[in-house]
Structure 1
Amino acid sequence: MSSRRRFYARPLLATAASIVVLTGVASAAPAATQATPPATTLDDTYYQDALGKTGTALKSSLHTIISDQTKLSYSQVWDALKATDQDPANSSNVILLYTGRSQSKSENGGNTGDWNREHVWAKSHGDFGTATGPGTDIHHLRPEDVQVNSIRGNKDFDNGGSAVSGAPGNLTDGDSFEPRDAVKGDVARMILYMAVRYEGDDAFADLEPNDRVSNGSAPNIGRLSVLKQWSQEDPPDSFEKNRNEVIFDRFQHNRNPFIDHPEWVEAIW
C-alpha cells in the first residue's frame, strides 16, 4: 500500500436518520452508511498528485493513483457486491442497478429471477472476460436481474429505444442501452473510471470511450458525448458515494475519482 493511503484517515461509520435511494421502489428507513470524507481531506492525501492538472496529464496522474489496488477473484465479487450495493433500508437485500429492485442477497445465481454480476463495461469490449483485473473490478460490477442483464448484453450506451421488460425507465434497441434516469450518471462514471484505470500497461487492453455504438470486441464503449451528458444530469448521490467508500475501505482500496470530483470528466474529455 502506498504512503499516500498509509497516512489517510479512514472515515468512521455514521448513522443516517433517514436514507432514501431512488431505486424505482420507495424505501426509507434508518440505516448505517459510510461517512463520505471531506474533499479537502482526499485532495490533501489521495489526490494530491492530480490537483491542478487537466487533459492527458490529469488522466495519467489518476491512472497512477487508482492503479494501486487490491484485486479480487471473480468468486469474491459475489460477497463484495452484497456489501457495496446493500439496500440502505434492508441489510438483507441489494439494490439492482437497472431495475432498481431491492432483492435478497441470497437470491444470486443464474436462474430466472436471480441477480447476477453485470459488467457495466461489457467484458467483450476488450475481450478481458472475467480475468482478475478488469473482469473483477467492482467499481464497474453491479448486481442485476439475470434477464435484464442478458437484454443489456454487450451493447454500448446511448439514448433511445423501446422499453425493457421488467425494468421500467430503461430503453434498448439493436445496438445500445439507456439506463433509468436515477443511475445514468453512475453508469457514465463507471465507464470513465475503467478508461482511466486500464491503459494497456498491465497485460489488458487499453480501454477508451468513443462516440460510437456497435463497438463489438474493440476495447471501446460509446457514446462518450451521451455519457458526459448523463454524468452532468445525474450527479453522485448518497448511494453512489457510499459505494465508492465501501470499495475503498473494505475491498480494493482505490476510488472512482469521478465520484469524488465529477468536474474531472470535462477536464479530461
Structure 2
Amino acid sequence: MTRIHPTAIVDPAAQLDSSVTVGAYTLIGPNVRIDAGTTIGPHCVFDGHTTIGRDNQFFQFSSIGAVPQDKKYRNEPTQLIIGDRNVIREFATFHVGTAQDDGITRLGDDNWIMSYVHLAHDCKVGNNTIFANNAALAGHVKVGDYVILGGFTTVHQFVQIGAHAMTAMASALLQDLPPYVTVAGNVARPYGINVEGLKRRGFSSEEIAALRAAFKHLYREGHSLADARAAIIERQATQPAAAGVLQTMLDFLDSASRGIVR
C-alpha cells in the first residue's frame, strides 16, 4: 500500500506508486501522477495536471501544480512535469504552463531547489541546477544544466540562462545570460567565468582558458556583439580542444532573444 498519512487527502483518481510517502494534511488532486520512491512532506498541495518522477523529496508547505498567475489562463489542461531525484525545500511554488506557450512547465533531474523558490508558468529548467532561497523565475524562462542562482535572484520573463552560468545573491536578471558567465547586481552585470564550478565538473584548463578569452572578447575589449562573436570563432579554429565549449557559447549568442547581459 502507498504510505499515506491518515490526515492526508488524496483524490481517488490520482496515480501514486505504492512506494510513495505522503505526509500529514497534504492534499493531492485527481490529475497528479507520482512515480516510485518520491517523498512528500506534510501540509503540501499537489494540483493540476502534474507528473512527478522517481525519488524526489518535497519538504513541507510546497504548492506544486497550481494554476498560473496569468490573467489569460482559462483553465486549459496544461501541465507541470518534474523529473527524478530532485530536492524541493519548504514553501516552493511551481505552476502549470499556459496555452500561450507549449503548455508545459518543466523541471529536469537532480536539481536542488531551496526554500521559497518560484517557478512560474512555462519555465524550462534543466538538470543539476541549484536555486538558493527565494530565487524566482517569471514566466517562460529557460535555464540550462548546472546553473546556480544565488538567493533572492529574480529573472525577467522570457530570459534564457545558459549552462554553467551563475548569479550572485540578489541579482536582477533582465537579459539573457550566456553559458559559463557569472553575474551580480541589480541590474545584473557580468563579472567573469564560473571557473570554480567548471573545475569541479571536470573542464580542462584549456577549455577554461578559452572561455576566459571569450569573456574578454564579449565584455572587456570594446567589441560589438558581432565582432566579439567573430573573435570567438577565430579562437575556436586555433584551440580545437576547446571548440566544444566555444560552440556552446556561440550557439547561445545566436539564440538569445532579449539581448545578452552586457
Q: Same fold (TM over 0.5)?
A: no
Higher RCO, 1 vs 2 (CA within 8 Å, ≥6 residues apart): 1
- Higher normalized strand content (fraction of residues): 2
**TM-score with structure 1 setting the length:** 0.24
- As a proportion of its length, which structure holds more helix? 1
